[in-house]
Amino acid sequence: MGFKHYFSKDEDKRAKFIFNLIAPVYYLIDKATNKNYKEMAALLNNQIPLKGKDVLDVGCGTGSWITSLANYKLKNATGSDFSQRMILQASENNKQINCVLQKDNSLNVFPDKSFHLVTATFVLHGMKSEKRYELLLEMKRLAKDYVVIHDFYKGSSPMVSLLEFLERSDYINFKKCFKTEMSQMFSETFIVEGENGNALYVGRL
Ligand SMILES: C[S@@+](CC[C@H](N)C(=O)[O-])C[C@H]1O[C@@H](n2cnc3c(N)ncnc32)[C@H](O)[C@@H]1O
């Protein structure tokens, strides 16, 4: 994938290009987020006991979030991503995770209601609301019990704002609209606020 994809109007091409490019140094971001992911996983486990659950993490990247959840004795932990280089890192780093490379951005390799819980961490803020809606709908199709989105909620540091600007993400709009988008998709939703301005947006099936 050439550098021209950074300027592509196609959001997926742009995201694949960016994440394939930064995959070799993504461990630096993992180091910075590791503690927060463990805290958020503990908060999630308090709300929804994870033991014995089948969990899919969409856009798992190098696998940090699904690995934090796997500490709670999941029955099966699966991560999927459309960036070949990110999913390669995930499979090298975490042998207990089933790693799936999504072809054509599609999750249709999985039948309906394949997982108790379907989650995504810092994925949905990256896309415009139309794509976000499509992905959320697909996550809802795959879930038996819950969809959990771990993402931005309140203020962000200047460094995060700069990175999101470079990524050309939709995070400002996401913070304004996502709570409403979730409640339009699920009949029951709640939010678990963490530190650092992040939250778990939970939709119950
Ligand atoms: C900011 S990274 C977060 C990675 C990981 N969830 C974490 O928190 O460490 C976003 C990830 O989502 C992936 N991604 C973005 N849109 C996607 C889509 N539609 N389907 C699958 N993966 C996607 C990217 O390839 C990238 O690995």
pLDDT tens, 135-148? Answer: 999 999 999 999 99
pLDDT tens, 87-123? Answer: 999 999 899 999 999 987 789 999 999 999 999 999 9
pLDDT class of 5 with cuts at 50, 70, 90: low
What is the model's pLDDT at position 78? Answer: 98
What is the model's pLDDT at position 195? Answer: 85
Nearest CA to ligand 1 atom 1: 122
pLDDT tens, 40-72? Answer: 999 999 999 999 999 999 999 999 999 999 999
Contact 1, 161 (CB under 8 A): no
pLDDT of 167 strictly over 80: no
pLDDT of 196 strictly over 90: no
All domains of the chain, ordered by start, with CATH? 23-204 (3.40.50.150)
Contact 53, 73 (CB under 8 A): no
Q: Is 15 in the pocket of ligand 1 (CB under 6 A)?
A: yes
What is the model's pLDDT at position 3? Answer: 67
Q: Is 81 in the pocket of ligand 1 (CB under 6 A)?
A: yes
Strand order of the β-sheet with 98-101 is: 98-101, 76-81, 54-58, 115-121, 143-152, 198-204, 188-193
Nearest CA to ligand 1 atom 11: 59
Nearest CA to ligand 1 atom 27: 61
How long is the chain?
205
Residue 204 forms beta bridges with which residues?
146, 188
What is the model's pLDDT at position 148? Answer: 98
62 CA from centroid of ligand 1 (Å): 9
Nearest CA to ligand 1 atom 8: 121
How confident is the model over 181-189, as a mean pLDDT? 97
What is the model's pLDDT at position 1? Answer: 60
pLDDT of 160 strictly over 90: no
pLDDT of 77 strictly over 80: yes
pLDDT class of 166 with cuts at 50, 70, 90: confident
